[in-house]
Amino acid sequence: MQKSIHRRPAHAAAMATLVIGAIASFTLSGCNSLYSEGAVAGAGIGGAAIAGSVTSNAAVATGIGLGAVAAAKAGVQYSQRVMHTYTQDRIAGAAGPLAVGAVATWAAVHTVPIEPDEKGRVTVSRTISTGTLDCKEIVFSVDTDATKDKPADSGFYVASICRDGQSWKWASAEPATPRWGALQ
C-alpha cells in the first residue's frame, strides 16, 4: 500500500510572513510587552508554517520552531539594548558638561516606537575622579506628563558616567534597577 504525504501549499510561508508583518506593525505602538510577545508569537507562527512546508518530521519541525522563537527573542533583546543605549547616551551627553549641582534637561526621541519617548532632568551630584579618568555621579529623572487619567510623575535614578574622548558614556551597571530589568 502506497502512503501519501500531504504537504502544505507553498503559499504557507508567504502567509506566515504576512502574519508576522501584521503582528510587527500592530506591536510597534510603544508597548514593549506587546512588541516582545508579538515578535515571539509571530516567530512561532512563522516557524510552524516554514516547518510544515519543509518537513513532516516532528523533531525537525520542533527544532525549526524553537530556533525561530529563540531568534525572535534575541532580536527583541537586541533592539531593547539599542534603545536603552541611545537613552543612556542622551542622559550622559546632557550631564557630561555640567558642574556639580547644575541641572539640565534630556530627551530621548525614538525613530522606531518600540519604546515610548522619554525625557527628564539630570544633575551632577559629585565628581568621582578627574584627570585621565573623568567620571561623575549623576541623578536623573524620567518625567511623564499629566494626562486626563493620571497626574504628572517623575522617577529618580542614580548612575555614573565617564568621559570617552570628547563624549560622555554610561558607566553604571543596573541589575537591580526596575527601570529596565535585566536588560540594560
Q: Which domain holds residue 104?
A: 85-170
Tell me, yes or no, whether 89 and 161 share the same domain.
Answer: yes
Share of the chain above pLDDT 70, in %: 58
Name the grid cell of 51: 516547518
Does 4 map to a domain?
A: no
Confidence band, pLDDT 50/70/90 cuts, at residue 103: very high
Q: How far apart are CA 59 and CA 45, in angstroms?
A: 17
Does 147 map to a domain?
A: yes
Of 29-38, 119-128, 150-159, minimum mean pLDDT range: 29-38
Confidence band, pLDDT 50/70/90 cuts, at residue 84: confident
Number of domains in the chain: 2
pLDDT tens digits for range 129-176: 888 889 999 999 999 998 899 999 999 999 999 998 889 999 877 544
DSSP state of 133: S
Average pLDDT on 34-57 reads 57
3-state SS assignment for residue 74: helix
The pLDDT value recorded for residue 156 is 92
Tell me, yes or no, whether 79 and 92 share the same domain.
Answer: no
Report which of residues 119 and 183 the model is more confident about: 119
Name the grid cell of 96: 557630561
Does 104 map to a domain?
A: yes
Tell me, yes or no, whether 93 and 136 share the same domain.
Answer: yes
Tell me, yes or no, whether 147 and 98 share the same domain.
Answer: yes
Tell me, yes or no, whether 79 and 89 share the same domain.
Answer: no
Does 125 map to a domain?
A: yes
Average pLDDT on 175-183 reads 50
